[in-house]
Structure 1
């Protein structure tokens, strides 16, 4: 098991002699940054020499003997399992990393992705300073120049074309508190044109699950999966996508002697652990799920008592399922009838059973229907609301569940409050502004209560004629914070849309594909790159796929001129003249809102989900 990266060498080389004086003494943060540049230059110079040995890759910031170690805890960013990271900090430099033994999720383990999170902070690809395209070339500018230039242009666009002419694209990489501020800023700007990554990955899960039993989230914890007697994965590959979650699945298989079934077009690394592998044709998920239900109903394996007490509409499902006998399902999906019958019997009779999926189910044109069918299978067999039984959806980003819950979404306000007058009145009371004040910021009451443009179709609002969109003018500006470009299939439309924008702002720790596509689109002016912090250079809470909430500490301060998400939102609100109203109950230290205060305000207003009563304390 990897404990932390060290720079110790198996044998001494001439490179050790040349570089030894650079790396031997304890360093502070300023010295570390200076030496990083020296080391890079030195290695470039040495690159042409053949020293005769294979060199070990040294850690960019090795542990410093004799220097006190401060331990900080945060949450891994590379998937939604929610593993805790324990960082070792010396003189303000992140020098070591351990998986956290007291975390109930990763329990002293890291996957290869989690073991590398430190490199996000130290990456030489980080944006260091605000940048602006001038005549087709990137030029360094100050934060004041950036905020003033962006703000003036956005206000000019708003004056001419209305608030809906600006799109606010947020991120599942925000903390909960950053998500809330970004959604609040969009409300004060006067638009519902704001969204984030879940629109692409798991929006079908949220709608499919929520419309089946009320809340679009995973039903169990990762730890509870080991209590299952039958685990079926359909549309997921946790061995590679969510490696730590596989530990919990394998405990179920090996300690609880559970059946482990993988249904997938590919024989994946997860399938290699399965007790039964089912290969289906891509896109035939519904036929397979209905085929399982056909066997369940035909053999009387359904949970009749559970259906009678807890489910309505199952008779309509029975009628639909009759259209999918074994021969028809095999013709559609390629899955042999006897194998599907065997899997259906396991799921219905070897209980508790859990059905697990990821984006193999969701990213289809019929993704919501796939999800609905999966949930119905759980209901028909009574595999819901019990230890080890449920629908367990493994999400992709570390806070995609939190960002969805907190309303970074075109169809809701925070915590799944809708866009109705009553919902707006509720949040007006929480924010201590009048409903009339919020209403005045929108084009109309109808627009205020109408869902915005989903990020998957933002370019339509740029490219379509004005009379084909429901807002006053085309989309003319985008503020993109923490989000890469749309799916590869939409790059041609994205490039065309970017070319037509009057303003593009990209705020990210790294220059993303948005910056590359902007240049590809021929943009030469009115395009900005803003350097923001990684989550390890700020603090805040995050929600894992299983709905567990964790607080991440700030591990190190930003190295150059990066600002965190809270600061970016505050500076923009300040420029627009909203800061006094937006932050009246949130303390601001310098230009940084205090995340603990943001969380307190969130929980004064969030009464609809499991966040009730959460506080920094």
Structure 2
């Protein structure tokens, strides 16, 4: 999220919700701010969605498109923007790279072709584009309806490019507002709870591991012995070349010795396809089968392909569930042993901070001590570490600090969660986390009443600080950055240009911002590279002392001494550079976003014209099908109905917590699907009757049919918040005594079609096909 909801309320003149239903999805507060923007600014609200949602009911304009065609729709907007000269020519000239290629692709997407592919009306596209492009500032919001596609990564890119082209990035009331589903989703991604990154978005290269080892007080050479290690020379000599996971690297391994790999430098299994590490149905790359699944803090039954998860659980040696409420992955299998349920605490029995969707942190004080035999999450982890012999290494980082520019041990005991928070601040330089210490966050909690809820600006004891210190918060004097990429305000007030991440030039074109683009108050004019040990003296025109040269880190994101941050503050510049925003990602299969039909497309005539990707040899340690799945047959002949997911305001995620409340459960007491009456009539299904939904993978679910005009006769939508029934079989008997929710039902993910994003491997939840049958 580049901006925040308060900024949208105060400044936005047009608000686009695309793939987002903020009126019912967490956090619902986003809708409140949009409605206030209408009252304050006469802002227009537009919803682009396959379904007429509750957000659409409050909109000034609703445009219905076919699931999986967002890129085509946005290119239709760009076609009109370039044709009418509505683009921000100065931003394109001075702060961007690759827009010419976007312009060329947009020529193809005439209103006629967009209407053909997306199903929207030409006049809707033209009218909305004129409104969005000519009204300043305009913002857009997206959520899982954008990301959960085989082209999800391209979806997010094209929306960012749209805002770049219109000059809405880095502007109050503009930007891209990505709505996170829970109160700490942003925090969990910041902390690297993914299979392809270390915390704070450090990669998996040894330079990142060395940075963390230094911050943890651990010897790197000893640390790497935990992994299967081989030398590059040996791999080059005996290995075969296998395409890597980020599309521009190649890894070498000896096919006769699968252990001969540098596993620390590679992605693990993703949450979407972890079960392939057990079932091995597709080509996998690992040293053996996954044998244990540990579930803690995630609703794994909200993952796609529930039947595959069920098969994998049956084959695991052990399943551990550490949750305050029973995670229903524990009842998928009928096995009698090898499943352990650990009662961890709720958030009310814990303390620490969460990071909200706008990058602001919020400290939460423990309300009550853990009750009964339950333990806090970290206590479970500490016990685990003690059992397996690495407890001292796990906690050592909390007893370190920077002293005279060097990491040193300063205490022999730690205080949880204060010292953990300070450790995270100390090592999280890559997102500018250094200033978000426990002391500052606690002070914000104590003075929440002294912050303006719209501007986030504080007063009194928190004067000139933004609530929650939204990152980047570069140092302990920095106020936080509520709006990313705003060059009109100084560094010390949260200003910055675009980050220099991709080299100094590409195809002979400088990747640094034009000399006319200077951060307010900066002593360095125009664009400049990210600051490193090797270039700091040249870029800043200074001479470091010998002591500074000895202690300084290799770059701004790996400098524990604080030298780079200190010098950048003196010069009023952002340590990550001042560059151009690139529209071309040359490492990706699609350097610029392209419309590609969903793997299971209802338009066989468009599959040949807009095919998906070639099959993926390897990503997250497993192969994935794309074109072979899409072209196996015309899936729409047997499965003619499009299927999308929806959210329920009374349930969230897998619903495993909310369905244990009889009051919340009573609002939606059983699983259902919204079906257009015309579609239901074709199958003889009455309103309120039970029906089967069949999917291309041979799975099915039995749910109630609810007549609804919110969907057209070619599609249905259904919630993903239920579990406890599997393909018509009631699993109630498998719940431990006292843990069964007040309501159970089929999981929609049982019929989620096969399909994954080419980059992130998120499942294609929102563009599958199905067939209905009267039960």
TM-score (norm 2): 0.50
The answer to whether 1:451 aligns with 2:267 is: yes
Contact 1:425 1:435 in 2 (8 A): yes
2:5 corresponds to 1:222:
yes
Shift in Å at residue 536 of structure 1? 1.2
2:335 aligns to what?
A: 523
Aligned to 1:605: 427
- The alpha-carbon deviation at position 272 of structure 1 amounts to 1.7
Q: 1:354 to 1:374 in 2, by over 3 A?
A: same
Structure 1 residues 428 and 575 mapped into 2: Cα distance closer, same or farther (>3 Å)?
A: same
Q: 1:421 to 1:548 in 2, by over 3 A?
A: same
Aligned match for 2:312, one of 468, 491, 497: 497
Mapped partners of 1:236, 1:573: distance in 2: 40
Tell me, yes or no, if the aligned pair for 2:190 and 2:200 is still in contact at 8 Å: yes
Please name the residue that 1:246 is paired with.
31
Higher helix share: 1
Cα deviation, residue 489, structure 1: 3.9
Cα shift readout 1:184-208 (whole Å, capped 9, x = no counterpart): xxxxxxxxxxxxxxxxxxxxxxxxx
State the alpha-carbon separation in 2 of the partners of residues 499 and 367 from structure 1: 31
> Does residue 64 of structure 2 align to residue 283 of structure 1?
no
Alpha-carbon distance in 2 for matches of 1:260, 1:461: 44
User: Within 5 A, what are the aligned runs for 1:26-41?
Assistant: none
Aligned mates of 1:304, 1:586 — CA distance in 2: 49
Deviations 1:425-476 (A, max 9, x none): 11110111111121011122611101111011111111117x9432221111
CA contact (8 A) 2:206 2:265 kept: yes
Q: Deviations over 1:511-540 (max 9, x none)?
A: 1111111xxx33222210000011111001
Relative to structure 1, the CA distance from residue 347 to residue 269 in structure 2 (aligned partners, 3 Å threshold; closer, same or farther) is: same
Q: Determine if contact 1:566/1:592 at 8 Å carries over to the other structure.
A: no
The aligned counterpart of 1:513 is 328
Partner of 2:21: 237
Match of 1:552 among 350, 356, 364: 364
User: What is the alpha-carbon distance in structure 2 between the residues aligned to residue 233 and residue 468 of structure 1?
Assistant: 39
Is the Cα–Cα contact under 8 Å of residues 17 and 140 in structure 2 kept in the other structure?
yes
CA deviation map 1:221-263 (0-9, x unaligned): 1100021111111111111113222121111111101121111
Aligned pairs (5 A) from 1:566-605: 566-586=378-398, 594-605=416-427
What is the rounded CA distance, in whole Å, between the counterparts of 1:585 and 1:470 in structure 2?
A: 32
Distance 2:85 2:76 in 1: 14
Bigger relative contact order (CA 8 A; separation at least 6): 1
Whether the aligned pair in 2 keeps the contact of 1:532 and 1:562 (CA below 8 Å) is yes
Distance 2:136 2:397 in 1: 50
2:376 aligns to what?
Answer: 564
SS in structure 2 opposite 1:494?
helix
For residues 60-99 of structure 1, the C-alpha deviation after alignment (integer angstroms, 9 at most, x for no partner) is xxxxxxxxxxxxxxxxxxxxxxxxxxxxxxxxxxxxxxxx
Choose which of 346, 367, 374 in structure 2 pairs with 1:534.
Answer: 346
Matched, 1:354 2:139: yes
Counterpart of 1:478 (choices 276, 293, 298) is 293
> What is the rounded CA distance, in whole Å, between the counterparts of 1:327 and 1:575 in structure 2?
64
What is the root-mean-square deviation in Å for CA atoms of aligned residues? 1.9
Query: Contact (CA 8 Å) 1:279, 1:335: kept in 2 or not?
Result: yes
Query: Corresponding residue for 2:765?
Result: none
1:615: which partner in 2? 437
- SS of residue in 2 equivalent to 1:340: helix
What's the offset of the Cα at 1:585?
4.4
Distance 2:106 2:7 in 1: 31
> 1:464 — aligned with what?
280
**Residue in 1 aligned with 2:705?**
none
CA contact (8 A) 1:566 1:593 kept: no
The runs of at least 4 consecutive aligned structure 1 residues that moved more than 3 Å come to: 486-489
Q: Displacement, 1:341?
A: 1.2
Distance 1:592 1:436 in 2: 26
CA distance in structure 2 between the aligned counterparts of 1:563 and 1:508, rounded to whole angstroms = 10
Structure 1 length as normaliser, TM-score? 0.62
**Contact 2:301–2:328 (8 Å) recurs in 1:** no
Which runs of 5 or more residues in structure 2 are unaligned?
A: 231-261, 400-412, 440-775
Question: Residue 88 of structure 2 aligns with which residue?
Answer: 303
Give the distance between the partners of 2:273 and 2:383, measured in 1 at CA. 28
Alpha-carbon distance between aligned partners in 1 of 2:119 and 2:298, rounded to the nearest angstrom: 38
Aligned length: 395
Task: Point out where structure 1 has 5 or more consecutive residues left out of the alignment.
Answer: 1-217
